[in-house]
Chains A and B, each alone.
Chain A
Amino acid sequence: MTAAPSAHATRPRMGAGPKVAVVYLAIVALAAIFAGVLSPRDPLAINPSNILASPGVRNLLGTDELGRDLLARIIYGARVSLEVAVSAVVLACAIGIPLGIGVAFCGRRVEAFAMRIIDVFVSLPEIFVAIVILAFAGGGLTTLIVTIGLLFFPHFARVAYGMTRSIRAREHVLSAISLGAGTTWIVRKEILPNMVSVIAVQASFTLSFAMLMEAGLSFLGLGVPPPTPSWGQMIGGLKNYIFINAWPVVVPSIVLFATILSVNVLGDWLQDSLNPELQR
């Protein structure tokens, strides 16, 4: 016995999953903003006599290889992860969306050429591009943001391009054009508003990719320079000491995982609720 399955099954307003995700992300964001107040100790204070300690009374989450308090570093690490990921996504949108829209309005030739260029970008596996750029430009927060932003703008460009073309081809838009509506008007009134939901979904997934990329690059030693803590960098550093004490590396690993998971869960929910007709 089954009811006829509906392709447009409406999801409950917000399940338990997304709720937990929102709460968790809010905590992370608060930690990032109010790190100075929330952190129990100085994340940079070195203590050579107490390195690689397990979670305990003195250091709630243990210490790293220089004796620095892990809880403090995780709180400050939230700052780096969020800052880099959000900035990179904003940059990617700022470059990609205008580009995508612009290309859609140009002639066929420009379209083909631009799509070819974007193909080239996409065909280069991301992490190699990042490694080469970072070797070129040196580490640092800005370089990292620019690199990741450059890596992900094609996603937005493509989406913007596709959406622009399909919206432009709609009946009422075509009639508006024939009545003399200008490009800017069309972009402002029809294209952008209709793109918002799709872009939002794309942005949420790109956010998690950006966080993953930052963590991965930091893991490889190409991220933010020490002593600034970054979750990926902490994992990369502490993994060398697993055989001495595995606990220190587990903590930032769980935190990073939970954050990305939350972003993905939220992204899923966003997609399901804003675009019920689009299936992934």
Chain B
Amino acid sequence: MKFRPVQFVASLAIVLACGVLWLSSAAAQPAPKMGGTLRYATVTEVASLDPHVYVGSAWKVLIEAIYSPLVGYDTKGTIVPRIAERWETPDAKTTIFHLRKGVTFHDGTPLTAEDVKFSLERILDAKTGATLRTNLAGVTVSVTGPSTVKVETAAPNAALLSVLALPEAAIVSKKWIDGGPNVKVQANGTGPFVLKAYEPSVRAMLGRNPNYFIKGQPYLDTVEFRMIKSDDARVNALRTNAVDMIDFVPWKDIDTLRRAPNIVVDSSGGAFMNLWFNATKKPYNDVRVRQAFAYAIDRDAISKAAFFGHGTPIEGPPTASDSPFYNKDLAKTYKYDPARAKALLAAAGYPNGFDFEFLVFQGLGIYTSTAQIVQANLKDVGINAKIQLVEFADLLDRKNKANYDVMVYGVSMKLTDPDAYAYYLGADSTYWAKPIGYRDDVLEELLSAGRSTVDLENRKVIYRKVEQRVMDTSPWVFINFREQAQAYNNKVRGYSHLGGALNESSAGISMPVMWMQ
């Protein structure tokens, strides 16, 4: 055969190219290894494992690992089946869930439709103190077959699925709960991991559930939770390889940890800092006063000093730029403008400013730093803020009794659905508005329309109006996004860091598909 250089080189190139492609793809997606232990240090000292009462971010991860709701999120943030394998909505107020067959609780009891009904009703029962009680108000659940459940809402509710996908909507075993266990320290779920050991506020040990309904998962054998409240101790534990992964990386350490050779830091906005007004009390019931505050704040300074650069200023509504509901034109509504703030104050009747008590949570450095910067900014426009440091118990108490002027509050995003605005600002929400009796009829109408509309494009229009209204009335002053970061060593694989409302649960969502290389 005659030697043909061109063809030879071409074939060689193709073979080589295939080889490189194959090698790189193998390197880029190493096959998950079964087994191994993940040691995860968290900032929240989880004191209760009741799956319906939210206690903190680490709690969410634990509950996500031990229990399963009807539906859940995947590592890309899409709603996917969990206990329910499919569902349909015959009309705007009804959803019918078809449950998987063969799901068992960790104690061996098979899951039935009765358990689903029981769980949702437990959430609705005032005695439980469940976090999602108001979100699911007016919902009725009926069992329509051995593995079908019908959920009906009082009014059309486009946000229902996103609520049912939260770990706080976990399905529990009626038989087990009726037996009267201390739900705060024992667990019996259908999740990928089983609770092996638990010392409240100190540690928890999870083991693989061999009967998990998604075959092949989880990859990990054990997950060891260590609750380390002290920021330095937690970061140190990662640095010295005492743990493999930590949550809530302190903002001052994000950059230094990134520089460490074998540590990965994933960070994205997950919560946002605000000023809350007692908006039914003088002078905060005057829109101009609230807007003056919004213009007076130097958000860049706060991001730089309090968050070490890891806190993107929010000058518009608090919607992430990659959300379908993001409105670019509203994003720069409240740029830093002390002159305008002064003018607004004068127009409202306070040309020389005024004094007020500024309620600040003392437990976290970012609160006191942010508050001091806000205090300095306000002083420049004539407003004298007197900082009152309080513990969290006191803060909640005063918020619920409407006994405050202005406070700094960090809001962790609750829902992926923009119906979250109803939770934040809705008149019936006990979160902020109800204790002070705030009611904006225009906003209420828009919110209820948004919730009951199902078509995405229509919803976008409605929620744009919502955001415009929020900007106009400025019931809160949005300050900045707080990046929430998780850090881990490079042996940890399979983790997907999600932003926004799913940030807190990211570890829980990824846990079944995480492994140790």
Q: Which A residues are CB-close (under 8 A) to B306?
A: 66
Whether B256 lies near A139 (C-beta < 8 A) is: no
B205: interface (CB < 8 Å): no
B346: interface (CB < 8 Å): no
Q: Which A residues are CB-close (under 8 A) to B253?
A: 243
CB of A137, distance to nearest CB on chain B (Å): 11
Q: Which B residues are CB-close (under 8 A) to A67?
A: 305
Q: Which A residues are CB-close (under 8 A) to B264?
A: none
| B299-344, CB < 8 A from A | 300-302, 304-306
Whether B252 lies near A226 (C-beta < 8 A) is: no
C-beta contact mask, B378-406 vs A, less than 8 Å → 1, else 0? 00000000111111001000000000000
| B241-276, CB < 8 A from A | 250, 252-253, 256
Q: Which A residues are CB-close (under 8 A) to B250?
A: 240
Query: Which of A48, A139, A243 lies in contact with B388, CB distance below 8 A?
Result: A139
CB of B389, distance to nearest CB on chain A (Å): 5
Whether A240 lies near B305 (C-beta < 8 A) is: no
Q: Which B residues are CB-close (under 8 A) to A226?
A: 368, 371-372, 375, 387, 389
Whether A138 lies near B388 (C-beta < 8 A) is: yes
Give the docked Cα–Cα distance between A243 and B305 (Å): 17
Q: With A221-B362, A226-B368, A237-B365 in contact, do A49 and B304 touch (Cβ < 8 Å)?
A: yes
Q: With A66-B369, A225-B388, A226-B371 in contact, do A243 and B232 touch (Cβ < 8 Å)?
A: yes
Whether B231 lies near A240 (C-beta < 8 A) is: yes
A135: interface (CB < 8 Å): yes
C-beta contact mask, B345-365 vs A, less than 8 Å → 1, else 0? 000000000000000001101
Q: Which B residues are CB-close (under 8 A) to A49?
A: 304
A227: interface (CB < 8 Å): yes
A167: interface (CB < 8 Å): no
A124: interface (CB < 8 Å): no
In the complex, residue of chain A having the shortest beta-carbon distance to the beta carbon of B376:
A46
B202: interface (CB < 8 Å): no
Q: With A226-B389, A227-B387 in contact, do A66 and B232 touch (Cβ < 8 Å)?
A: no
In the complex, residue of chain B having the shortest beta-carbon distance to the beta carbon of A228:
B387
B373: interface (CB < 8 Å): yes
C-beta contact mask, B427-459 vs A, less than 8 Å → 1, else 0? 000000000000000000000000000000000
CB of A237, distance to nearest CB on chain B (Å): 7
Give the docked Cα–Cα distance between A132 and B371 (Å): 25
Q: Which A residues are CB-close (under 8 A) to B368?
A: 226, 237
CB of A229, distance to nearest CB on chain B (Å): 11
Q: Which 5 A-B pairs have the closest CB atoms?
A: A48-B305, A48-B304, A48-B301, A225-B387, A221-B362
27 interchain pairs, CB-CB under 8 A: A44-B376, A45-B376, A46-B305, A46-B372, A46-B373, A48-B301, A48-B304, A48-B373, A49-B304, A65-B305, A66-B305, A66-B369, A66-B372, A135-B394, A139-B389, A221-B363, A226-B372, A226-B387, A227-B387, A237-B365, A240-B231, A240-B232, A240-B250, A243-B253, A243-B256, A244-B252, A244-B256
Query: Given A49-B304, A226-B368, list of 5 further CB < 8 A pairs?
Result: A66-B369, A138-B388, A138-B390, A221-B363, A240-B232
Instruction: Give me the interface of B with A, judged by CB distance under 8 Å.
Output: 231-232, 250, 252-253, 256, 300-302, 304-306, 362-363, 365, 368-369, 371-373, 375-376, 386-391, 394
Instruction: Give me the interface of A with B, judged by CB distance under 8 Å.
Output: 44-46, 48-49, 51, 65-67, 135, 138-139, 221, 225-227, 237, 240-244
